[in-house]
Amino acid sequence: MSEFDLIARIAPLLDGAGDDVVVGHGDDAAVVRVGGSEVVVAVDVVVEGVHFRRDLSSWEDVGWKAVAVNVSDLAAMGAIPAAAVIGLCRPAGFGEDDVEALYRGLRAACDQWDLRLVGGDSVSGPALVVSVTTFGRVGGSGAVTRAGALPGDRLVVVGALGAAAAALAQVARGARPDPAHLAAHRRPRALPEAGRSLAQHGARAMIDVSDGLGADLGHLCAASGVAARVTASALPVAPGAREVGGWRLVCGGGEDFALVAALPPECAEEAARAAADAGGVLAAVVGEVHEPHGTTVVLDLPGGGTLDLDRMGYDHFREGDK
């Protein structure tokens, strides 16, 4: 059973939209109505040996990453980051100096994205686990879900693909990783400003690219009941990443924390430029949404041929990804 098969199995036990739940399970974050205001809530768990390695990341890096992955989920909803709480599982040997270093990284990331770090909980346990829950505010354009893409919409990717996956691939081969690639793994960059910009420019559906472009765009297509075709040569790729692992690494490596959004065709080019300016990153119109038939997500390769991107990306419960 894959990670997403398990999510589907427990879905009947979760709450969807209704009453004070504006967006329930199945999206990058939930949106709940509290006192007449809409609050966006996201949670992510960072685990030693799964999301980071001690030989590649400092404790400050781990703290930064734990916040960044949450802010990326807020960004995918077009939300404005507001506050965060931390859950820390502390193993034996993880001393007070280590805890302080971890919190310096948490604090630095919160300062970067204007989050208030307001508390949390700590316990002892067999491994280091950092759980961050973030809260955001919905902007004037409202929350953007995964479910609004329409046939004919254009796809915009904001943020470079492949860097973090390239670093891990280089390490696995015993090679020295490119410093820029390794930095992307250690301290990923969330894009809340770009997410808000895309929402303001008419994004109908959006998701962050955490597991890989193929898998995450597939989730957006599934939620919207559509399919997608992407042009490889149009993708914003981190310099040198494709040379490390080809298009499979670029589209399936994960840990990009880029954004992919579906927009009306007349808005897409301007939206890509505005989001690039807002986030200070690469952005491009990379493909089109169409009616579902056959493969859900197809990549058109340079020089001809295609690559099936369906479910291409990280899955916590798939044997090869552990």
> How far, CA to CA in Å, does 292 sit from each of 1, 113, 144, 212, 224?
24, 37, 21, 21, 10
- Among 196, 211, 216, smallest CA distance to 155 is for 216
Six token digits for residue 273: 């430029």
Structure-token match 């939930």, residue found: 30
How far, in Å, CA of 138 to CA of 30, rounded?
A: 11
Q: Are 221 and 228 in contact (CB under 8 A)?
A: yes
Other CB atoms within a 10 A radius of the CB of residue 320 amount to 6
How far, in Å, CA of 108 to CA of 71, rounded?
A: 13
Separation of first and last alpha carbons in the chain? 14
Which pLDDT does position 314 carry in this prediction?
58
Could you tell me the domains of the chain?
12-138 (3.30.1330.10), 154-321 (3.90.650.10)
How far, in Å, CA of 254 to CA of 159, rounded?
A: 12
150, 155, 161, 162 alpha-carbon torsion, rounded to 10°: 60
Q: Kindly report whether the global pTM for this prediction surpasses the value 0.75.
A: yes
- Among 80, 45, 79, smallest CA distance to 65 is for 45
Per residue in 24-73, pLDDT tens?
A: 888 889 999 998 899 999 999 999 988 899 899 999 999 999 999 999 99
Per residue in 3-24, pLDDT tens?
A: 667 777 888 887 777 788 899 8
Q: Name the residue with higher pLDDT: 140 or 225.
A: 225
Residue-wise burial string across 275-312, b where 16 or more C-beta atoms lie within 10 A, e elsewhere: bbebbebbbbbbbbbbeeeebbbbbeeeeeeebebbbb
Q: Which residues pair with 300 in a beta bridge?
A: 231, 306
- In the predicted model, is pLDDT for residue 171 greater than 50? yes
Per residue in 106-154, pLDDT tens?
A: 999 999 999 999 999 999 999 999 999 999 999 777 899 999 999 999 9
Per residue in 285-311, pLDDT tens?
A: 999 999 998 889 999 999 999 999 987
- Among 161, 267, 143, 265, smallest CA distance to 215 is for 161
Which pLDDT does position 320 carry in this prediction?
46
156, 275, 137, 73 alpha-carbon torsion, rounded to 10°: 50
Strand 116-124 with 79-90, pairing? parallel
Residue 25's identity, in one-letter code, is: H
Strand 227-231 with 297-300, pairing? parallel
Per residue in 250-259, pLDDT tens?
A: 999 999 999 9
The dihedrals phi and psi of 138, each to the nearest 5 degrees, come to -80, 130
Average pLDDT, the chain: 93
